[in-house]
Amino acid sequence: MNEDQRYHLLMAFRLTYLADSMVNWCPALGTVLANDEIKDGVSERGGHPVVQKKMRQWSMRISAFSERLLLGLDQIDWPENIKEIQRNWIGKSEGATAFFDLDQYEGQIEVFTTRPDTIFGVSYLTLAPEHPLVSSITTAEQKSAVEQYVQQAALKNERDRQVQSKEMTGVFTGAYAIHPLTGKQVPIYIGDYVLAGYGTGAVMAVPAGDQRDWDFAKHHNIAMVLIFENHDASESACTSKEVPLVNSDFLDGLCGKTAFNAAVEALEKIEHGNKKVNYRLRDAVFSRQRYWGEPFPVYFKDGKAQMIGDQELPVTLPDVDKYLPTEDGEPPLARSQWKYQNEFVMEYNTMPGWAGSSWYFLRYMDPKNAQAIASKEAMNYWGQVDLYMGGAEHATGHLLYSRFWTMILNDLGHVPFGEPFQKMINQGMILGRSSFVYRIKDTNTFVSADLRKEYQTQRLYADISMVDNDQLDTAAFKNWLPEYNNAEFILNEKGQYLCGFEVEKMSKSKFNVQTPDELIEKFGADTLRCYEMFLGPVEQSKPWDTKGINGVHNFLRRLNRLFQTDEGQWLVNQDAADKKSLQTLHRTIKKVTDDLNRHSWNTVVSTLMIAVNEWTEQKCHQQEVLESLLVLLSPYAPHLAEELWSKLGHKETVTIAQWPEAIAAFLEDDVFSYPVSFNGKTRFNIDLDANMDAKTVEEAVMGHEKTAHYLEGKAPKKVIVVPKRIINIVC
C-alpha cells in the first residue's frame, strides 16, 4: 500500500476524519451546524434557514460508539426523560439489509428493513430523491418527471417535507429491480418520504405491512401483495408482527421472530442480505467557519492532513484583520495566510462549541497542569462528576458528546472512568407570568379581558410592571409606547381593565421579566434564597410567584429572635440545654442532613422552620443548641448565619465549621402514640412504651376501654401490630 492509499484507508476509520459529506449549511451564520443545533429546520441560534450542501468537513465518528452510548445509559443515575431522549436520538433498530439486483443495469440497491419477514409482500422499491443511483437508472421517458421531482425535493427543507406528509408524493423512475427471492420485476420509485440520511436511503415497500407504503401505493395505484392471513389491505396496512404470513413461499404460516430469522437465512444463503443493526445517530460535523474556536493542530501537505507534533502545542489563533469569512467564502482564519513552518497551509476551520464543553470539567481537577488534561492522582482522587445540575435542552448535544469524549479518553487511558457524570438533576425553570391586553381589530381601543369575547380582538403583551393583580394601570399603559398614547379602554362593570395572562418563559420580548433586585432590596438576599429553595422540588418548573415570601422572611426574623431581641439585646447563654431542646436539635440535624443528601431542599427549609417554632415555644437560647442551627442554616441564609456565628465569638467563617452530627439517643421518644384502627379506620390513639413488644402492645390495646366500644360486641378476627407504627384490628 502506498502512502496515499494508507492515508485514505485510515481516514475511513479515524475518530476524527475529513470527508465530503452533506452538511447543514446556514448561510446567515456562514457556518455549518450539527444536527442537534437545528430545531424545526432552522438554526437553534437565531432561527435562520439551513440548507443541505456538500462540503469537505471534519467529522467525529460518534456513530462508532452508538451501542456503547446506549448501554452506558443503564449505568448512570440520570433523569429518565433525558435517557429516553438519548435513546431515541441514537435510534437503534434491529433488522436486515437486503440487496435487489437491478434489471437491465449493473449493480444493486441496498435496502434496510426491520421486517425482512414481509419480503414477499414487496410491490416496489422507493429511493430517496438524493439517492446516488437515481440519475443513472432513470429511463428516457421518465427523465424529465424525475428531474423535476428531485429539484423540488431539494428546495424543500426537512420541515416542509414533514408539513406535506399527508400527500405521499413520488415519481416512477421507469427502472426495475429483481426481487431476490421470487425473481420477479419490482418497479423503482423515488419519493421524499424516504430520507437520504437514514438507513441506506432506500426502502423495500410492503404496502400490506407498512402504513406509509400503503398510503404511497394507494396514491399511485400500485398493486399490493397480500401476505397476512385474513387481511385484504382494503382499509389499511397490517402492522402486527403476530399475524401468520400467506403468499410467502417458505414463510407461509410463520410469524414474528421465526419468520424474521427464516427470511434472513434465505437471503444470506443467496448472498443477497444479512442481519443488521441500524442506528439513527449520525457522525457529528466537527468544523465551524468561525474565528472564535479552538484551532485544529493540523496542516496540509500534498493535500493530505498532517498533525502538528506534541512539542509544538498549543496552537494559538492567528491575528486577522476582520473576524469575517473571506470574499470567496473561506473561513475567517484564511485571512491570516496562516502557514506551518512558513510552508504548509494550516487548517482554517475551528472547532465547534461542543469541543470545549465535552471535557472542560476534567480540567477543573488540575487546571495548571502543562503536561496532561489532569494528573493521574487528581483524576483518581476526584473521579467522575458526582452531581451534574443542568437543563434537559443539552440532551442530544453536549451531554451526549461529553459521554463520547470520556469514552474515548478512557479507552486511551487518559481518564480512569467511562462516563463523565454519575448523577444528574434537571433543575426546573422559574417561569414568568405574562399579561395581555386585547385590542379591538383595526382600532386603538382596548377591551377588558372579561369582555373580550364580544369583540374581534388582537392579543398584545403588556409590561407586567403596569399590572397589579391582573388590573392594568391604564395611564401607565398609554405612556408606555407612542402608539398607545391615545388608546381608549372599555372597562368592565367594576370600572377595571383586566388583563389576560399566560405562564411562559421569562423573556424581554414577552415583557414578563421579574428581576430579584426589588425583593433583595425589601427582604434581603437570604430571604430570597431561602424562598427559592422553599418553593418546591428543584426539578419542577413553576411561575415566579412572590405571594409566600413573607412567610420565609418571618421565619428568618423568628430565627434571629432566638439570638437577640428586635431591639438588639443579646439573648444567647451558656446554660446547659434541656432534653426537649436537644431532641429538637438532633431530629433537625438528622432530617436536614438526610434531605440534603436526597436533594430535597424545599423540605430542609420547612424542617428548619419547624425547629425554630419549637425552640421559640421552648424559649431556648442556649449556645450549645443554636450554634449547630447556624451551621445547618448556612447554605440557605449565609449572610445571617455568618453574622450570628461571629457574634457567638467565632473568629473563622461558618462555611468551614464542622457539620453537626445527630446523636441517636435524642432521636427517639420513650413513648409512642399508637394509632388504633378498626378495619383500616383510625379511631383513637394510645400512648405506650416505645420498646414494648408486639404481644404486650396487643394485650394493652385489647384491654383499653375504647376498644370494646369500637368492637361493638364483635370478636376481633385478627390484630395486626407493627411496632412503632400502627395497630389495626380486623373485626
Residues 128-147 touching RNA, rule: CB under 7 A, are 128
Stretch that binds RNA, among 220-228, 285-293, 489-497, 546-554 (CB under 7 A): 546-554
Q: E strands of 362-505, at which residues?
A: 385-390, 421-426, 430-440, 445-447, 457-462, 467-468, 471-472, 488-490, 500-504
Stretch that binds RNA, among 86-94, 134-142, 255-263, 491-499 (CB under 7 A): 86-94
Among 573, 655, 679, 696, binds RNA (CB under 7 A): 679
Nine cell digits for residue 664: 441517636
Helices (H), 134-210: 134-137, 143-155, 158-163
Binding mask 254-283 for RNA (x = CB under 7 A): ------------------------x-x---
Among 43, 59, 113, 289, binds RNA (CB under 7 A): 113
Binding mask 30-49 for RNA (x = CB under 7 A): ---------x----------
Residue type, 338: W
CB of 622 to RNA, least distance (A): 20
Does residue 293 bind RNA (CB under 7 A)?
no
Tell me if residue 563 falls in helix, strand or coil: helix
Comparing CA positions, the residue from 670, 678, 668 lying closest to residue 704 is 678
CB of 325 to RNA, least distance (A): 29
Does residue 598 bind RNA (CB under 7 A)?
yes
Q: How far apart are CA 553 and CA 549, in angstroms?
A: 6
3-state helix, strand, coil in the chain (%, to 5): 35, 25, 40
Does residue 594 bind RNA (CB under 7 A)?
yes
Residue type, 53: K
Stretch that binds RNA, among 266-274, 361-369, 581-589, 596-604 (CB under 7 A): 596-604
List of residues 6+ apart from 633 with CB closer than 8 A:
559, 608, 640, 641
3-class secondary structure for 232-269?
CCCCCCCCCCCCCECCCHHHCCCCHHHHHHHHHHHHHH
User: Which of positions 689-728 make contact with RNA (CB under 7 A)?
Assistant: 718, 720, 722, 725-726, 728
Q: How far apart are CA 683 and CA 694, in angstroms?
A: 19
Does residue 642 bind RNA (CB under 7 A)?
no
Does residue 199 bind RNA (CB under 7 A)?
yes
Report the residue number, 411 or 545, with the smaller CB distance to RNA: 545
Among 110, 158, 450, 470, binds RNA (CB under 7 A): 158
Q: How far apart are CA 503 and CA 67, in angstroms?
A: 40
User: Which of positions 600-639 make contact with RNA (CB under 7 A)?
Assistant: 600, 602-603, 605-606, 609-610, 613, 616-617
Report the residue number, 276 or 290, with the smaller CB distance to RNA: 276
User: Which of positions 435-494 make contact with RNA (CB under 7 A)?
Assistant: none
Binding mask 361-380 for RNA (x = CB under 7 A): --------------------
Report the residue number, 180 or 295, with the smaller CB distance to RNA: 180
User: Total residues contacting RNA (rule CB under 7 A)?
Assistant: 81
Element (H, E) at 345: strand 344-346
CB of 91 to RNA, least distance (A): 5
Tell me if residue 40 falls in helix, strand or coil: coil
DSSP designation for 200: T
Does residue 595 bind RNA (CB under 7 A)?
yes
Tell me if residue 543 falls in helix, strand or coil: strand
Among 53, 161, 218, 599, binds RNA (CB under 7 A): 161
Report the residue number, 490 or 596, with the smaller CB distance to RNA: 596
Binding mask 547-576 for RNA (x = CB under 7 A): xx-xxx-xx-xx------------------
Tell me if residue 650 falls in helix, strand or coil: coil
Does residue 81 bind RNA (CB under 7 A)?
yes
Comparing CA positions, the residue from 35, 71, 125, 73 lying closest to residue 277 is 71
